[in-house]
Amino acid sequence: MDEREFLEAYDAERFERPSVAVDLLLMSVVEGGLAALLVRRDEHPGLGKWALPGGFVGIDESLDAAARRVMAAKAHMNAPYVEQLYTFGAVDRDPRTRVISVAYFALLPAALFASALEADRDLMLGRLFVPWKGEAGGPVAARSPGGEALPLAFDHDEMLGLAVRRLRGKLDYSPVAFALLPETFTLRALQDVHEAILGTKLNKPAFRRRMLDRGWLKATGERESGTSFRPAELYRHKSS
């Protein structure tokens, strides 16, 4: 039997197969704190709770393509930076049927969330409350901008916790923070983003020196406007 014959005779139906989904962690820094895009569940299970935008993976669709499709269709967004986070495969994580979910996470400037939130009234920007320091880990809770608790469906609190941990871990050796900022930004804005992600205050001169030494920044020569004090220089992420 050669390979062609083998493949024709192969019976993929022999074993029962799980469903595979992708869930998206679309995160940003809003008003000095981490936030993630949530969608109100309008079906069981978890009716009325809040979930990460997600959807099933098509049989002829790669995982990455599914993540991008769901991002456009359910979150009205198109993030330049998307990364696979982890695959959640507990047997009972979804009461409907066996669902294995591949979590992806993306970082977006806060300004990009506004149009999505307007286009779809079931979307919500959940402010995240991280009850641990550093990379200790554990679930994370969400609240609405008004301060009401947003109960999370499935294991999505654990997914958010893992995303925060991964983000904190990558922050100082990887240029991820730039995905959260507009094209040009001040060093102060960059520091604010770092502090929001880490949940700690940082030393200003040391932070500035470290960032400039990394070689990730290019000075534009322009300055911010609209301040009532000395305006700071605007920088740009040098992608080279």
Partner DNA sequence: TTGACTTATATAAAATCTGCATATATGTAA
Partner DNA sequence: TTACATATATGCAGATTTTATATAAGTCAA
Structure tokens at 182: 């507009």
- 17 touches a second copy by CB under 8 A: yes
Work out how close the CB of 158 gets to a second copy at its nearest, in angstroms, rounded to a whole number.
Answer: 13
Whether the CB-CB separation of 224 and 234 falls below 8 Å is answered with yes
Q: Which stretch binds DNA (CB under 7 A): 42-50, 84-92, 145-153, 222-230?
A: 222-230
Whether the CB-CB separation of 79 and 176 falls below 8 Å is answered with no
- 42 touches a second copy by CB under 8 A: no
- 89 touches a second copy by CB under 8 A: yes
Q: Which stretch binds DNA (CB under 7 A): 98-106, 120-128, 133-141, 183-191?
A: 183-191
- 186 touches DNA by CB under 7 A: yes
Alpha carbon distances (Å) from 60 to 21, 27, 65, 71, 78:
13, 28, 10, 18, 21
Cis bond leading into 131, ω under 30°? no
Rounded Cα–Cα distance for residues 197 and 200 (Å): 8
Instruction: Compute, in degrees rounded to 10, the torsion defined by CA atoms 222, 177, 113, 105.
Output: 160
Work out how close the CB of 59 gets to a second copy at its nearest, in angstroms, rounded to a whole number.
Answer: 4
Q: How many residues sit in the footprint of DNA (CB under 7 A)?
A: 19
Rounded Cα–Cα distance for residues 26 and 84 (Å): 12
Applying the rule CB under 8 A, the residues between 46 and 75 that interact with a second copy are 47, 56-64, 66
User: Of these, 96, 148, 206, 240, which contacts DNA (CB under 7 A)?
Assistant: 206
User: Of these, 25, 87, 171, 219, which contacts a second copy (CB under 8 A)?
Assistant: 87
* 141-143 vs 184-185, strand pairing mode: unpaired
Q: How many residues sit in the footprint of a second copy (CB under 8 A)?
A: 39
The three-state secondary structure class of 100 is strand
- 151 touches a second copy by CB under 8 A: no
- 220 touches a second copy by CB under 8 A: no
Q: Which residues bind a second copy (CB under 8 A)?
A: 1-3, 6-7, 10, 12, 15-20, 43-45, 47, 56-64, 66, 84, 86-87, 89-91, 95-98, 100, 102
